[in-house]
């Protein structure tokens, strides 16, 4: 985060305005941290994906519309200062779903009698998914995904040919030699080609429809 500069979007992408800011120390910054712990009220940024009557707030702002959002309650479980070198700082946050770090950074700046914007953001975890466990898309495998699925979520495996794989990536259905127990209800399945996991699909009466494909070279 960077103190003394206001960003219209709260991050690097916005229009920036420099505001007079008196220097302060790490000890000064640490004093205001406790007031941001626990359940607090937060105003979401207008440049957000929150929908107003079916249209994103950020799209309304870009179309020249005036946007008014409502304050929401979020929870900050942990807020630590990892690095401080005025006018910049790095913070570590554990928070509830729905928290906007851009808004948190701006509120921290205002509490120091200034303003601030988010210069960078790294998400280290989301639920049970950890950044340290992440891998490139090309390296993903069924074995990496399966542990995150509920125990009762046992999917049948469907093998397809390279030609069928191309059709699935194009959104087309393909005919496979597999019948679901109940022909009236589509059944989810894991799609493989040449031993590699391609994604998820649904199969009904021997017809495989793509639902979530992982990519590929067509």
Domain boundaries defined on the chain: 2-126, 137-213
Average pLDDT, the chain: 86
User: How many Å apart are CA 123 and CA 132, to the nearest integer?
Assistant: 10
Asked if 116 and 3 touch (Cβ cutoff 8 Å), the reply is yes
Alpha carbon 211 to chain centroid, angstroms: 20
What is the predicted pLDDT for the residue at 153? Answer: 58
What is the predicted pLDDT for the residue at 215? Answer: 61
pTM: 0.64
At 179 the three-state DSSP class reads: coil
pLDDT higher than 70, residue 181 = no
Q: pLDDT band for position 66 (50/70/90)?
A: confident
Tokens (6 digits) for 53 = 């009557």
What is the predicted pLDDT for the residue at 94? Answer: 95
Tokens (6 digits) for 75 = 């929870």
User: How many Å apart are CA 109 and CA 158, to the nearest integer?
Assistant: 54
**Equal CATH topology for 2-126 and 137-213:** no
Q: pLDDT band for position 40 (50/70/90)?
A: very high
By percentage, how much of the chain surpasses pLDDT 90?
Answer: 47
By percentage, how much of the chain surpasses pLDDT 70?
Answer: 88
Q: Out of 3.40.50.1000, 1.10.645.10, 1.10.287.10, 3.30.2350.10, which CATH number does the structure's domain 2-126 have?
A: 3.30.2350.10
Q: Out of 3.40.50.620, 2.30.130.10, 3.40.50.10860, 2.30.40.10, which CATH number does the structure's domain 137-213 have?
A: 2.30.130.10
pLDDT tens-digit readout, 86-123 = 999 999 999 998 899 999 999 999 999 999 999 999 99
pLDDT tens-digit readout, 130-173 = 888 787 777 766 666 666 665 545 678 888 999 999 999 988 99
pLDDT mean over 181-186: 66
User: Looking at 120-124, 151-155, 184-188, 211-215, which range is the least confident one?
Assistant: 151-155
């Amino acid at each position: 985060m960077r103190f003394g500069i206001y960003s219209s979007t709260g991050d690097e992408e916005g229009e920036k305005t420099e505001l007079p800011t008196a220097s302060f120390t790490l000890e000064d910054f640490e004093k205001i941290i406790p007031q941001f712990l626990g359940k607090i009220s937060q105003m979401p940024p207008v440049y957000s994906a929150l929908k107003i009557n079916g249209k994103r707030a950020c799209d309304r702002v870009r179309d020249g519309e005036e946007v008014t959002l409502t304050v929401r309650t979020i929870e900050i479980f942990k807020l630590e200062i990892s690095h401080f070198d005025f006018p910049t700082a790095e913070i570590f946050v554990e928070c509830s779903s729905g928290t906007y770090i851009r808004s948190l950074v701006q509120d921290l700046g205002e509490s120091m009698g200034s303003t601030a914007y988010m210069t960078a953001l790294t998400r280290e975890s989301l639920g049970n998914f950890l950044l340290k466990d992440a891998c490139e898309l090309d390296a993903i495998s069924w074995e990496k995904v399966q542990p995150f699925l509920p125990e009762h979520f046992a999917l049948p495996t469907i093998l397809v040919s390279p030609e069928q794989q191309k059709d699935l990536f194009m959104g087309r259905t393909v005919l496979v030699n597999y019948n679901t127990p109940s022909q009236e209800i589509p059944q989810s399945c894991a799609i493989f080609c040449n031993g590699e996991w391609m994604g998820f699909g649904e199969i009904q009466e021997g017809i495989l429809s793509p639902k979530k494909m992982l990519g590929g070279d067509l």
